[in-house]
Amino acid sequence: MSAWTRPTTADIGLRVFSSSLDKLFCETTTGMQNLLMTTDSKDNLNSIIRHSSQWNVSLRKNGTSDYEILLMKWLEEVLYRNEVHEEFLCELQIMIFDDDEYLNCNAQVDWVDSKLVEKGVEIKAVTSHELIIEQLKENQELSSKWEEVPSFVGPGWYCDIVFDI
């Protein structure tokens, strides 16, 4: 896993690294899901019956922050499915692609009944506060200002995201 919890004032944040944009969305989603459940639930997740589905979100292209907005929309969909449909996502593969008008996130997911997952942190919302997605070039270094989070050297992608708890 390439997601680290990072300090924020009152909420909880993640810094995530990955080799591709698709994998960055996967790692960020997995990082968020790991915040939602207790350590015991993580250990027991493989003993619960899983279901497979395809979850998709789309965004009409509008500018330079499209990836950030698409990520927010995707993570909100994951939280919504957990809260409303009681589908707790445990594994996924994502494909990000665009057409003339839309940016799309299509995911093949495995999920379990969320009533069977012991919850840890409650995430109320995905925020745009400090949200960034950037691609790092070969040998470009991203220094960490947080002791708990390592620095990262490209090539690759990184994301900073904050959740309202």
pLDDT (tens digit per residue) in 9-22: 768 999 999 999 99
Please tell me the predicted confidence (pLDDT) of residue 4: 79
pLDDT (tens digit per residue) in 95-153: 999 998 999 999 999 999 999 999 999 999 999 988 999 999 999 999 999 889 999 99
Q: What is the C-alpha separation between 130 and 123, in angstroms, rounded?
A: 17
Q: What is the C-alpha separation between 159 and 132, in angstroms, rounded?
A: 5
Supply the range of the domain harboring residue 68. Answer: 3-164
Asked if 53 contacts 36 with a C-beta cutoff of 8 angstroms, the reply is no
Q: What pTM did the predictor assign?
A: 0.94
1 pLDDT higher than 60: no
52 pLDDT higher than 70: yes
Count: domains in the chain? 1
Q: 54: domain CATH number?
A: 3.55.10.10
Total residues found in the chain within this entry: 165
Q: DSSP letters of 28-83?
A: HHHHHHHHHB-HHHHHHGGGS--EEEEEEEEEE--STTHHHHHHHHHHHHHHHHHH
Please tell me the predicted confidence (pLDDT) of residue 98: 92
Please tell me the predicted confidence (pLDDT) of residue 61: 92
